[in-house]
């Protein structure tokens, strides 16, 4: 059995972005010398994900908007007496009490999932013709790591 | 280490359907001659998924309806002056500008996930008593492929 | 190739809860004697999940509330003539016709996913500093099983 581990660091300037990584994953499989096996691609952060889908810019833009509908970013109400009279802000997060502002990114991690396992057959990622692999950043602007682990023979 | 790869093609007449595949996955494990390991079951399309849940018809029907609430199919407003005056259609997708109409199916793929990894113990899928494996079609009416990869010894 | 299988039983008194299991998964890796490989952590029930995220109580409480928004528990309308006149209850589930009341828990299973695959490097779970592993109970009050399967060398 062979195994091979590669770490990648992303520093995405935007808060949210999809970064295509299919070639990097194939490179890890090549370097592993594995013909038959599986490769695990896993974000090492709790506000990022990995998605396998279509590398079509319209779809990716649609998807960021849609994820914001299911997992809305927090908002702060105007800091005035009327806002205070409304009581606790339902748009805000307990998680933000300590100064964080990325609660929605944790939920985008949940929806997208932080990892995928891909099949390797005859030394190639065994993907369909439209399947591209994306690192999904939901709280960018700082370096974040991902691990690729190849297992097989 | 043994590995074994099987491809299945589905041609589901309906746009959306759950197709139970537990027996086909077990058959691949049998053919692999693997007693201890893992099996990856992965749709090779970006508008399909794989789900492990209950083979209860009411639940499956409920679930298709619920997925439509979270990831609604697109709609076209009436092509008249009033619709035009309303401006851009929020129910529609950038992804559809090229003639596609399956944006919602990409999001159902995201929610359900396109793959699962199942444990194999003593030659059997090591599932709970109510866990059935389903291929989930969200844009049917054409042949679509899935790969089963068994790894173990 | 080595493999090692461990079963855990949870009996969570509450209907819903996150139970941190990182140490139990690391223990299974230790007992497997695997230095390089993967570990599959998989709920054996259709109303539970496994999530890798932050062990921050505010976030976990936020997340249970948010999951209730995406996958609301069913409700029964008042059993009177007005309710009957309203016709079928859109808040209820076909799945509940047989007496079940846990339709929402099946959907939380779908959103969270019932399993994860974690990398093992140099004998350790190869997780980021904030990644904790949780068993996610969505229909507790009874014993439920989870399987941990380690594969590697």
* Contact criterion met (CB < 8 Å) for B38 and A37: no
pLDDT grade, residue C75 (50/70/90)?
A: very low
Chains that touch C (3 or more CB pairs under 8 A): A, B
Q: Which residue ranges of chain A lie beneath pLDDT 50?
A: 75-78, 83, 87-88, 90
Return the H-helix or E-strand segment holding B19.
strand B17-20
Is C145 in contact with B152 (Cβ distance < 8 A)? no
Q: Which residues touch C5 (CB under 8 Å, ≥6 apart)?
A: B36, B119, B121, B126, C147, C148, C149, C150
Q: Using the predicted structure, report yes or no on whether residue B153 has a pLDDT greater than 50.
A: yes
Does A59 contact chain B (CB < 8 Å)? yes
What pLDDT score was predicted for residue A91?
56
Taking alpha carbons only, the member of B57, B114, B63 closest to residue C105 is B63
- Choose between C91 and B65: higher pLDDT: B65
Average pLDDT over residues B35-62: 97
Residue B46 sits at the chain A interface (C-beta within 8 Å): yes
Q: What is the distance between the alpha carbons of residues C10 and C74, in angstroms, rounded to a whole number? A: 24
**Residue B60 pLDDT:** 96
Work out the mean pLDDT of chain B and round it to a whole number: 90
List chains touching B (3+ CB pairs under 8 A).
A, C
pLDDT at B76: 45
Whether B38 and chain C come into contact, CB under 8 Å, resolves to: yes
Q: In angstroms, how far is the first alpha carbon of chain B from the final one?
A: 5
Q: Closest Cα partner for A126 from B117, C151, B43?
A: B43
Interface ipTM > 0.85: yes
Q: Which is more confidently placed, C151 or C89?
A: C151
Q: What is the pLDDT of residues C3-44, one digit of tens each?
A: 999 999 999 999 999 999 999 999 999 999 999 999 999 999
What is the least distance, in Å, from the CA of B73 to any CA of chain A?
12
Q: What is the pLDDT of residue A75?
A: 46
* pLDDT tens per residue, range B68-115: 889 988 644 445 555 455 444 545 788 888 788 899 999 999 999 999
Query: Which stretch of B34-38, B73-77, B100-104, C52-56 has the lowest confidence by average pLDDT?
Result: B73-77
Q: Are A67 and C20 in contact (CB under 8 A)?
A: no
* pLDDT recorded at residue B74: 65
Question: What is the arithmetic mean of pLDDT over C101-128?
Answer: 96
A53, A132 contact by CB (below 8 A): yes
pLDDT at A88: 45
Report how far residue A5's alpha carbon sits from residue A32's, in angstroms, rounded to the nearest whole number.
8
Which residue is it, tokens 């499956």?
A: B60
Residue C77 pLDDT > 70: no
């Amino acid at each position: 059995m062979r195994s091979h581990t590669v770490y990648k660091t992303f520093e995405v300037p935007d808060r949210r972005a999809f970064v295509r990584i299919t070639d990097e994953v194939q490179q890890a499989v090549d370097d592993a010398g594995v013909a038959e096996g599986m490769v695990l691609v896993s974000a090492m952060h709790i506000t990022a994900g990995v998605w396998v889908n279509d590398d079509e810019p319209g779809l990716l833009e649609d998807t960021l908007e849609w994820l914001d509908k299911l997992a809305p970013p927090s908002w702060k109400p105007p800091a005035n007496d009327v806002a205070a009279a409304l009581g606790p802000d339902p748009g805000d997060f307990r998680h933000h009490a300590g100064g964080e502002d990325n609660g929605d990114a944790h939920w985008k991690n949940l929806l997208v999932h932080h990892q995928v396992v891909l099949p390797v057959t005859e030394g190639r990622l065994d993907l369909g013709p439209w399947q591209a692999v994306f690192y999904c950043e939901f709280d960018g602007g700082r370096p974040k790591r991902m691990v690729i682990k190849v297992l097989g023979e």
